[in-house]
Structure 1
Amino acid sequence: MRYYSIDEIKNWERFYRANFINCLTGFKPVSLVGTVSKEGVPNLSVVSSIVHLGADPALIGYINRPLAAAPDTIQNIRDTGHYTVNHISDAFFTKAHQCSAKYAPEVNEFEAVGLESQFEEGIPAPFVLESPVKYHLKLVEIVPITHNQTFFVIGALQAVFLSESLVETDGFIHLENAGSMLSLGLDGYANAAMVQRLPYAKP
């Protein structure tokens, strides 16, 4: 096993370093965050930092990159207070990946990458029609992380859309059957495979 010091890592070429460090945390869920600007322009952003914060109240968070790198999504969320999270499946992951490109704010990214927007009654933010699992969040809090100029965006769950056949009698969702994908590093996509569910652990 080779030893890598942080001093060595700091001196690597930028993209090599980014790939290496991004892979260290392992496979992550990957989704498209759907928003709309106050001018009415739909936007999509690839996010692989989504985390469960609690079930009661139902809170979900994600890390938004610095404003210089990704200003549109967080600005839309600030302006409207609403956004959607849409699982990426193997049926459209190449189109979804294209959403990581830096489009101008006036560009409808659904149209730019060839995905279809879906608006539901009473929900101002767009869903991705092709997504097998999607949910609506209402903004609770945006927490600045001053150390690297990122933001932790926290939302309260408002609504969920998925096939009832994916849900077990105890509420467990078989995302592998939905085709929900995982990401590794900056540009790696993988399929999920269930190994086994284990019983509730007790001492």
Structure 2
Amino acid sequence: MNYSQEQLRDLDRITNLKLINAITGIKPANLIGTTSAEGRANLAIFSSLVHLGSRPPLLGFVARPRTEEVGHTLRNIETTGEYTINHIRQEFITKAHYTSAKFPADHSEFERCGLTPEYLEGFQAPFVKESTVKMGMRLKEVIPIQWNGTYFVIGEITQLTFPEAYWVDEDVNLEASGSVGISGLNTYYSLKKEAWHPYARVEESPDFTNE
């Protein structure tokens, strides 16, 4: 299949959404927990999380344009300066998926989707109790993206929680964690470890030219 720029523009909205969201490959599947100014717990699924740096530990994600119907996550983050990122596990994929529905601002996705808010000492935003890999985040910057009205949200990890059993050979074993990935808008994949390689150094690199 081969699409020109014009053909991509002519696709119907849903086909375009599914194609462009899927073609980048498997993405992280996370639930972002926030608290509104009124103290209401909010939860939403995101697949745009990216690593920005380790010292300080910075992560970014893309938030949709603000409207009355959507954008509760970004508004809450800007109000409180805190949020949580929680891995989605195989056991609650369906519940996590339906947090993407456009529930009214006065409804909690935790309640509507059967997930449990968990509050850790010193942190206002709710974690997802059912998740086993969780990050507490402090907002650092919100960058408007002029091309489509979205926002790139940058935060710093201030709290990190996961079972010791997931830390294997100085690496996080995501297969053991049961965490899942997303392709497109509504397709979920399990994670399987296929290989391990040492840190790449020029002097230790194999000679692939003779293959």
Band of TM-score, shorter chain: over 0.9
The answer to whether the 8 A contact 1:134-1:161 is kept is yes
Query: 1:112 is paired with a residue of what secondary structure?
Result: helix
* Structure 1 residue 199 displacement after superposition: 1.3
Once residues 169 and 195 of structure 2 are traced to their aligned partners in structure 1, the CA distance between those partners, rounded to angstroms, is 17
How far did residue 67 of structure 1 move? 1.1
Equivalent positions of 1:23-42 (< 5 A) are 23-42=22-41
SS of 2:90's equivalent in the other structure is: coil
CA–CA distance in structure 1, aligned partners of residues 5 and 57 of structure 2: 37
- For the residue of structure 2 that corresponds to 1:92, the secondary structure is helix
Structure 1 residue ranges without an equivalent (≥5): none
1:44-67 per-position Cα deviation (integer Å, ceiling 9, x unaligned): 011000001000011011000111
Give the corresponding residue for 2:42.
Answer: 43
CA-to-aligned-CA distance 1:96-121 (integer Å, 9 cap, x gap): 00000001111111011000110011
Secondary structure of 2:200's counterpart equals coil
CA displacement, residues 71-106 of structure 1 (integer Å, 9 cap, x when unaligned): 200000000000000000110010000000001111
Tell me, in whole angstroms, the C-alpha distance in 2 between the residues paired with 1:191 and 1:153. Answer: 26
- In structure 1, the partner of 2:136 is 136
Q: Distance in 1 between matches of 2:187 and 2:147?
A: 27
Partners of 2:70 and 2:26 in 1: CA distance = 22
Residue 207 of structure 2 corresponds to which residue in structure 1? none
Contact 1:64–1:70 (CA<8 Å) still a contact in 2? no
What's the TM-score once normalised by structure 1's chain length?
A: 0.97
In 2: Cα distance, 1:99 partner to 1:196 partner: 33
* Structure 1 residue 176 displacement after superposition: 1.2
Unmatched runs of 5 consecutive residues or more in structure 2: 203-211
Identical counterparts, % of pairs: 41
- The 10-residue stretch of structure 1 (154-163 or 63-72) with the greater mean CA deviation from structure 2: 63-72
Aligned twin of 2:195: 196
Name the Cα RMSD after superposition: 0.9
Distance 1:48 1:70 in 2: 16
Give the number of equivalent residue pairs: 201
Look at both structures and tell me which one has the larger radius of gyration over its CA atoms.
2
Q: 1:1-203 to 2 correspondence within 5 Å? A: 2-68=1-67, 70-170=70-170, 172-203=171-202
TM-score after normalising by structure 2: 0.93
Aligned AA for 1:54? G
Instruction: Measure how far apart 1:169 and its partner are.
Output: 4.4
**Partner SS, residue 176 of structure 1:** helix
Q: Distance in 2 between matches of 1:88 and 1:173?
A: 15
Amino acid at match of 1:128: V
